[in-house]
Amino acid sequence: MSLSRRDFLKVSGVTGGALVAASRLLRLETLTAAGAESLQVEEKYIPTTCWIGKQDCGMLARVVNGRVVKLEGHPANPRNNGTLCPKGVGQIMSFYDPNRVKTPLIRTNAKGVPGEWRKASWDEALSLVAKKMNAAREKGGSKFVWQKGRSKAKKFYDKAFVAASGAFKLHHGAFCSDAGYRALEYTLGLHAVLHPDFKYTRYLLCWGWNVTNAGGNKFCWLTWPQKLVEAKERGMKMVAIDPRQRSAAHFADEWVPIKPGTDLALALALCNQLIANDTIDREYLTKYTNAPFLVGPDGLFLRAEPEGEEEAGAPLVWDTVSGAAVPYTAEGIQPALEGEYTVGGQRVKTAFELFKAHVAEYTPEMAAEVCGIEAAQIERMAREIGENAMIGSTITLDGHTMPYRPVGIMAYHMAQQELGFQAVRAMVMVMMLIGSIGAVGGQFSDFTWKEYKNWAKFEHLKVQDETNLYLKDSKFFPINSNNSSVVAHVINNLSEYGLDDEVVPDVVILHHVNPLGSFPDRNENFEAYKKIGFVAAIDPWISRTADYFADVILPAATIEKYEGPISASDFYTDAETLRIPPMDPLFDSKGDIDIYIDLCEAAGILYGEDGYIAQINKQLKLEGEYALPLDQKPEVRDIFDRYARSKGLEGGIEFFEKNGVNIKGPASVSKVYPYAMEEPFAGILPHRFYGESLLVAQNDMKAAGADEIYWRDYTPFPTWRELTAAQSPAEYDLNLISYHMIEFKQSRTPVPLLIEMAPKVFVEINPATARAKGIADGDEVWVESHNAITGETRKIKAVARYREGIRPDTVAMPHHYGEYVKHPWVKGQGPSPNELFFTGEGYVAQTADQTYLVRVKVTKA
Amino acid sequence: MARYGMVIDLDKCTGCRACMVACKVENNTPQGHFWMYVFRFEEGEYPNTRTWFMPRPCMHCDNAPCVKVCPVGARYKRLDGLTATDFDRCIGCRYCEVACPYGVNYFNWKKPEGNYYLDWDDPDLAEIVGDEKVVYANPDLDKAYGPEKRRIAGGGQAKGVMEKCTFCVHRLEKGLQPACAAICPTQAIKFGDLDDPESEVSQLLREKPHFRLLEEAGTSPRVFYIGQHAPNPSVRQIEEITVKV
């Protein structure tokens, strides 16, 4: 073997970008020369990136005589190190798929049924969309809606379009992990969910994180499993907390088969035990959180007297040096973490003292009952967390001596549950108790400590009468994840939310998003789309939503376009990449950025100071000589050429066309670890251990007349309550959850190579449960769900599959079915569990985030 | 001369099946053919359950039953350890398929050109890529390989011919790893020269306990497994791939 991937990786490693690039190039050229000689063909490798998922793994497209014959992993990209997942390598088939939308299409039949189409020119299609869009833009508000699924690469061209067009924006996050994002934004000021410091961690709580199937915080799949396997080789212990064992696979040292949706109770029981075992990091809690703040009987912080100012002063702490309540910002004080004190004649406690009282009832026995697991297992986990946290220990990296707390949580999509926001907050509090937040080996979320805009916003939650289509700043969901199914629910029930027809959109542009295919609740979405006048879809496929409701479909290219910039960081190495087209856009498709440029031109919003070009300059920070001229239609390649040059890359776009990835080097200790920063935690302090503003919001919601179902979870500390689903009648005896399969997760496209491996929908059921119901492995069954609030029931048919690795009170179905796109390979694949889930009250979190849990009964069909 | 073999670390395999897809694209195998197959296994009863995964390529046995039964010498052993199939010589008798205890042989019941998942007979596509029988056709697969100069690479060669994993013989000659090993996200699949004591595969076999499938059959496979254990009757296959051929 002259060169294996491993040899190459030795060269690439995390050394300088230039060296990596040069060695890779050398290799490519050698290969190209050898290939050309022996095969009499022109062969080259064009660096590009994966178009599926969210992490845009680096790829090399093997191109022979101008035709892509294979997509392989780019060896120098830190995210995938020369490898790919099954979707990455399989997407070549969808790239060439003759079922792609080849030309712009205009609908010729009525909406609400599968579409019939005529081919149109780009000019005709774009003028039509521009005309409709401009009419809606004139009316303002939410009349013109732009919705995107997962944005690929930096969102610069999305944001530029929204800014230039004034569109009302909808997202996909409320179906993904936004409840977790909101929890972290609220508690630590970071826009991300949870991952550990794999390089140093010794004990990992793999909390609903599906190692072998799903993604994880920040990445879609491949990077974290690579790091997990390395950490396991190093001896890291891993506990999998999940109703289904598949997530644990054989990587877990212990499986905690928790009842779905009860994670909050488990986290608080762990807190209870950490306090009981006295394995808590008092220094972190005192210095960096609001746990020592004094809380009055009204649940609000005691604050310094406002001295002639309208706003309240700084919260008070009890200073053990002076024996008095002083502003927490005062110099030279030693705040008490615990205790009860008399201030201004009233007895007050520290927030931490209140927390101790709060978690006192969350004993292992109580949580064991709620979570359906053993109390001894909870006690053991708490002991192991405490022991492995090595509280008080430090480690020195690159001259920085920092706390060493090698315990962390990996959690992401599990955040989408009824108590999701508070459950993730409770999980973070477990890590706060042991001082693991940002410590080496400890709890991380974003790639660096950078304040997210919601950190300040969440200090004062708006509860106002005036609201909009997604109920922003309302008495319903003051913290709000912009859930487009809630939007559909609101459109279908306007008066219940004090809204009228004025908010119903006239025009919706759907960009790579398929609400009828991807989001529960499918029925609500279907009814809502009937009310929308004009729908245009930008997509390489006829999605289910487009098939039933689009008036125009604009064919987008897949990997064959320029797109970016894309972070190629794996948390430990900083790198950047671009998507480079290995071929021209197939058929009559266009790259997404080209489509927006053309659409903005047709709509008259391309040029000038407020136009799309100006917004691109702003978003990409193209200034001075790098700025695009505002009166000249740009070429997309030129946009990225200017971007690359503005970043100091010699050769501009050619650097990426040759090398694919720009390795900037190892992420510095002071970027990764908040204790090594000039100002610890980048000054985003104190961490919100106590959620005072949640209580204020609750009070405001009550005052505004909101029902209890909206305000009940706005509590300063996470608080367990029975889930809505549990109130369904006893005959609905099973919990239904849904999950991702690695073959399809975020695939966006029907790839026959992958569908062949799992062609039909199924429902996993524990054999003991199934036998008691007379259901054999492979039987067709009815799965019927029940809405505990409205009493509505829905049912679908699927094939039962026996699995020992699932709780007997739970059944599970993969998401990826339900004929989500018009394609021969998805015909007859059976329904999606999204048809069984509900949206709206009781089935969304306090942040309007979608849940994926409902009670069902399963009967033999 | 190198004598190749494979070492698969079951403690690292996530069961993602990327190797299966990489194999299919690299070797242009038709629908329903899985020269590499990844088993997903479950054993034990709730809650004492274990899930694990096992990739299964051709074992390239040193004492290969398929070679012995081939009446025309189409299936043969190469000096570098590969068990190869000469598509031009194969008469489609399927004796090899019957003799193999591992089920790694895939027979072209259909004309391969009509068995590639989608109807590729599309004039718009033809304008772009020409008239390839499979749109992502790998140009390396039609060549003759080895000192024997026989056509032994790639799949979908002809109706009535038996095909199986070749250890990506066409890649080996370029100094590349087999497609499955190259793509494996967690590097669970290792490939190299078992005769070289310094090779990674040799070192792994020295350092870690290992097993081969159906050792008792006396086939002397060149594929070794480390981690986990050999499947036994108490292991159940989950998420089995069933296809019509």
Residue pLDDT, tens place only, A562-609: 999 999 999 999 999 999 999 999 999 999 999 999 999 999 999 999
Q: Measured between CB atoms, which of B122, B130, B185 is closest to A83?
A: B185
Task: Report if residue A468 sits inside a domain.
Answer: no
* pTM, rounded to two decimals: 0.95
Q: How far is A231 from chain B (nearest CA, A)?
A: 11
Residues A689, A792: one domain?
Answer: no
Residue A150's pLDDT is 85
Residues A848, A745: one domain?
Answer: yes
What tokens does B75 get? 């299936």
Tens digit of each residue's pLDDT (9 = 90 or more) over A722-753: 999 999 999 999 999 999 999 999 887 899 99
Place of tokens 């996050």: A173
Residue A28's pLDDT is 42
Q: Do B117 and A752 touch (CB under 8 A)?
A: yes
Rg for chain A, CA atoms, rounded: 27
Q: How far is A246 from chain B (nearest CA, A)?
A: 7
Length of chain B: 245
Q: How far is A229 from chain B (nearest CA, A)?
A: 6
Residue A37's pLDDT is 46
Task: Report if residue A422 sits inside a domain.
Answer: yes
**Mean pLDDT confidence for A95-122:** 97
Confidence band for A215, pLDDT divided at 50, 70 and 90:
confident
Task: Report if residue A488 sits inside a domain.
Answer: no
- Residue at A208: amino acid letter: G
Residues 6+ apart with CB under 8 A from A130: A599, A602, A603, A604
Three-class DSSP category at A216: coil
Residues 6+ apart with CB under 8 A from A362: A265, A268, A269, A271, A272, A720
- A762, containing H or E segment: strand A762-765
- Residue at A489: amino acid letter: H
Three-class DSSP category at A837: coil
What tokens does A633 get? 């239609």
The residues that bridge with B52 in the sheet, in sequence order, are B41
| Interface probe, candidates A10, A40, A229, chain B, greatest B C-beta count within 10 A | A229
Q: Using an 8 Å Cβ cutoff, are B128 and A98 in contact?
A: no
Tens digit of each residue's pLDDT (9 = 90 or more) over A796-813: 999 999 999 999 999 999
Three-class DSSP category at A50: coil
Residues A440, A368: one domain?
Answer: yes
Tens digit of each residue's pLDDT (9 = 90 or more) over A117-175: 999 999 999 999 999 999 999 999 999 999 999 888 899 999 999 999 999 999 999 99
| Whether pLDDT at A435 is above 70 | yes
Distance CA A678, CA A372 (A): 45
Tens digit of each residue's pLDDT (9 = 90 or more) over B143-156: 999 999 999 999 99
Confidence band for A32, pLDDT divided at 50, 70 and 90:
very low
The residues that bridge with A802 in the sheet, in sequence order, are A765
CATH number for the domain including A284?
Answer: 3.40.228.10
The residues that bridge with A508 in the sheet, in sequence order, are A145, A535
| Interface probe, candidates B118, B138, B194, B237, chain A, greatest A C-beta count within 10 A | B118
Task: Report if residue A408 sits inside a domain.
Answer: yes
Cβ-Cβ contacts under 8 Å, A806 against chain B: 46
Cα A591 from chain centre: 25
Q: Using an 8 Å Cβ cutoff, are A57 and A73 in contact?
A: yes
Q: Which runs of E-coded beta strand occur in A102-143?
A: 105-107, 117-119
Cβ-Cβ contacts under 8 Å, A222 against chain B: 185
| Whether pLDDT at A12 is above 80 | no
Place of tokens 């279907």: A526
- Residue at A325: amino acid letter: A
Burial code of A484-506, b = ≥16 C-beta within 10 A, e = fewer?
Answer: bbbbbbbbbebeebebeeebbbb
Cβ-Cβ contacts under 8 Å, B15 against chain A: 212, 249, 742
pLDDT over 90 for what percent of chain B? 95
Task: Report if residue A39 sits inside a domain.
Answer: no
Report the residue of chain A nearest B239, measured CA to CA.
A758
Residue B74's pLDDT is 98
In chain B, where are the structural domains located?
A: 4-238
Task: Report if residue A781 sits inside a domain.
Answer: yes
Q: Do B21 and A753 touch (CB under 8 A)?
A: yes
Q: Which runs of E-coded beta strand occur in A250-300?
A: 254-256, 294-295
For A391, the domain range is 178-291+355-448+684-693
Residue B131's pLDDT is 81
Residues A234, A379: one domain?
Answer: yes
The residues that bridge with B83 in the sheet, in sequence order, are B77
Note the CATH number of domain B4-238. 3.30.70.20
| Whether pLDDT at A40 is above 80 | no
Residues A689, A799: one domain?
Answer: no
Place of tokens 């190692």: A211
Confidence band for A684, pLDDT divided at 50, 70 and 90:
very high
Q: Using an 8 Å Cβ cutoff, are A49 and A559 in contact?
A: yes
- For CA atoms A186, A191, A195, A197, give the dihedral sign: negative
Tens digit of each residue's pLDDT (9 = 90 or more) over A386-409: 999 999 999 999 999 999 999 999
Cβ atoms within 10 Å of A683's Cβ, excluding its own? 12
pLDDT over 90 for what percent of chain A? 91
Cis peptide before A327 (omega within 30 of 0): no
Residues A789, A689: one domain?
Answer: no
Residues 6+ apart with CB under 8 A from B108: B30, B115, B156, B157, B158, B159, B160, B161, B162, B163
Residues 6+ apart with CB under 8 A from B23: B29, B34, B35, B36, B57, B165, B179, B180
Residue A26's pLDDT is 36
Task: Report if residue A93 sits inside a domain.
Answer: no
| CA angle, residues A709, A715, A719, in degrees to nearest 5 | 85
Three-class DSSP category at A226: helix
**Mean pLDDT confidence for A543-555:** 98
Tens digit of each residue's pLDDT (9 = 90 or more) over A263-304: 999 999 999 999 999 999 999 999 999 999 999 999 999 998
Instruction: Say how many CA atoms lie within 13 Å of A172 toward its Cβ.
Output: 20
Q: Using an 8 Å Cβ cutoff, are A711 and A698 in contact?
A: yes
The residues that bridge with A47 in the sheet, in sequence order, are A60
Distance CA A610, CA A606 (A): 8
- Residue at A834: amino acid letter: N
Residue A30's pLDDT is 40
Burial code of A50-76, b = ≥16 C-beta within 10 A, e = fewer?
Answer: bbbbbbbbbbbbbbbeebbbbbbbbbb
Cβ atoms within 10 Å of A655's Cβ, excluding its own? 20
Residues A216, A285: one domain?
Answer: yes
Residues A257, A384: one domain?
Answer: yes
Number of domains in chain A: 2
For residue A73, give the nearest of B128, B242, B186 by alpha carbon: B186
Residue A19's pLDDT is 34
Residues A268, A417: one domain?
Answer: yes
Residue A310's pLDDT is 46
End-to-end CA distance of chain A: 56
Task: Report if residue A331 sits inside a domain.
Answer: no
Distance CA A799, CA A763 (A): 6
| Whether pLDDT at A36 is above 80 | no
Cβ-Cβ contacts under 8 Å, A82 against chain B: 182
Strands A443-444, A195-196: pairing is antiparallel
Residues A688, A763: one domain?
Answer: no
For residue A423, give the nearest of A260, A256, A238 by alpha carbon: A260
ipTM, two decimals: 0.97
- Residue at A851: amino acid letter: T
Residues A191, A237: one domain?
Answer: yes
Residue A312's pLDDT is 61
